[in-house]
A = this chain, B = another copy of it.
């Protein structure tokens, strides 16, 4: 067996220790005589798994008691609809969106089908190479919430400071920066993440929502499964949850605690990102696509400026065991996603390869 350094934007690299444990427990989870995949979600075994996962996540982030933690399905794409349907009146409600890359744009578009969604800032005119000025946002007076994508996976942008939304409810898609650094949970009305970037396998969404934001009654015309209260009332067990994915997420949470928690991850992630961005900045061949102050620590897009050379880089790097470095089709070029589970050695190997590639292609 030979493991590669996998720079995929998601689904993405997972800690090898987690995968080894999962393999060891595949046929018999801790003496239960069955795989976690085979367990009733109503069993004490699975209840222990989901309870532990929630407790570890609460401890890692420091989630206040007046927030619920939900394990959901449907990806971020499903939340793009659920958020307006839960937090603004379907049909007539209003919300503000900051459009800073592909994912916030998609969220804005879906909200616009269901409520009145106002674009109060956009980086699209500059092809999402920097964040728009958020120092004096013209928020809509009756907007129910302000929506951001905190780290744009495709375009490689990160809000290093949250936009000032005053006393408005801030809702954040954290999919690609989730658990990569400490956050102040209390600043958000809701934050959520698709698991398949920093946390686990695809098919699980983790949502953290202030309890007083949850609608109290049934929302007419909205599927019961799209109402956050449905799962909030039942500890994410209204129906059968994606049990195995939650189990893997729980293992990643324990792994993060063993690494020293989110403060330690932030240090490691800053160190890894600096290694890669420094290599890009000192190169004559590679160029970063995002202004320095808005660069993501997780998703690093860069280009040579020559699509043929980009393609050659993708091919040769893959042959060298550095995989999934092709940029997203909407940006082109190259992209390295260096999530929590990417070891520093992986980034060093990439930098080393980039230097050799540059020398060979002068």
Interfacial residues, chain A to chain B (CB-CB below 8 A)? 1-4, 6, 8-14, 16, 19-20, 22-24, 26-28, 31-35, 37-41, 43, 73-78, 80-82, 85, 90-91, 110, 113-114, 194, 196, 200-204, 218, 220-221, 223-226, 238-245, 248, 321, 323-324
Q: CB distance A239 to B77 under 8 Å?
A: yes
Pick the residue among B19, B225, B248 that contacts A74 (CB under 8 A): B225
Pick the residue among B76, B77, B221, B245 that contacts A221 (CB under 8 A): B221
Further 11 A-B residue pairs, CB within 8 A, beyond A73-B74, A75-B240:
A1-B28, A10-B40, A11-B38, A23-B23, A37-B202, A40-B324, A74-B74, A77-B224, A80-B223, A81-B225, A245-B245
- Residues of the B chain whose Cβ atoms lie less than 8 Å from the Cβ of A321: 33
Listed by A's residue number, 23 A-B pairs whose Cβ atoms lie within 8 Å are: A2-B31, A3-B27, A4-B33, A11-B37, A13-B38, A14-B38, A37-B200, A40-B324, A41-B202, A73-B74, A73-B75, A73-B78, A73-B203, A75-B240, A78-B225, A81-B224, A81-B226, A113-B218, A196-B240, A201-B242, A203-B242, A203-B243, A245-B245
Q: CB distance B244 to A202 under 8 Å?
A: yes
Distance of A200 Cα from B201 Cα, bound (Å): 15
Which of A2, A6, A223 has most chain B Cβ within 10 Å?
A223
Q: CB distance B244 to A203 under 8 Å?
A: yes
- Residues of the B chain whose Cβ atoms lie less than 8 Å from the Cβ of A38: 6, 8, 11-14
- Residues of the B chain whose Cβ atoms lie less than 8 Å from the Cβ of A194: 240
Q: CB distance A27 to B19 under 8 Å?
A: yes
Look across to chain B and name the residue whose beta carbon is closest to the beta carbon of A82: B223
Q: CB distance A223 to B11 under 8 Å?
A: no
Which of A81, A244, A245 has most chain B Cβ within 10 Å?
A244
- Residues of the B chain whose Cβ atoms lie less than 8 Å from the Cβ of A218: 113
Q: CB distance A221 to B75 under 8 Å?
A: no
Q: So how many copies of this chain end up in the complex?
A: 2
Distance of A241 Cα from B8 Cα, bound (Å): 15
10 nearest A-B residue pairs (beta carbon): A203-B242, A81-B223, A4-B33, A23-B26, A77-B239, A37-B201, A73-B73, A1-B28, A202-B240, A8-B40
Question: Assuming A3-B27, A38-B6, is B243 touching A202 (CB within 8 A)?
Answer: yes
Pick the residue among B26, B226, B243 that contacts A26 (CB under 8 A): B26
Question: Assuming A73-B78, A240-B194, A244-B244, is B10 touching A35 (CB within 8 A)?
Answer: no
- Residues of the B chain whose Cβ atoms lie less than 8 Å from the Cβ of A23: 23-24, 26-27
Look across to chain B and name the residue whose beta carbon is closest to the beta carbon of A218: B113
- Residues of the B chain whose Cβ atoms lie less than 8 Å from the Cβ of A35: 14, 19
Pick the residue among B82, B85, B201, B240 that contacts A243 (CB under 8 A): B201
Q: CB distance A245 to B248 under 8 Å?
A: no
Distance of A233 Cα from B74 Cα, bound (Å): 17
Look across to chain B and name the residue whose beta carbon is closest to the beta carbon of A26: B23
Q: CB distance B37 to A2 under 8 Å?
A: no
Distance of A311 Cα from B90 Cα, bound (Å): 47
Question: Assuming A14-B38, A27-B1, A221-B91, is B242 touching A202 (CB within 8 A)?
Answer: yes
- Residues of the B chain whose Cβ atoms lie less than 8 Å from the Cβ of A114: 221, 223
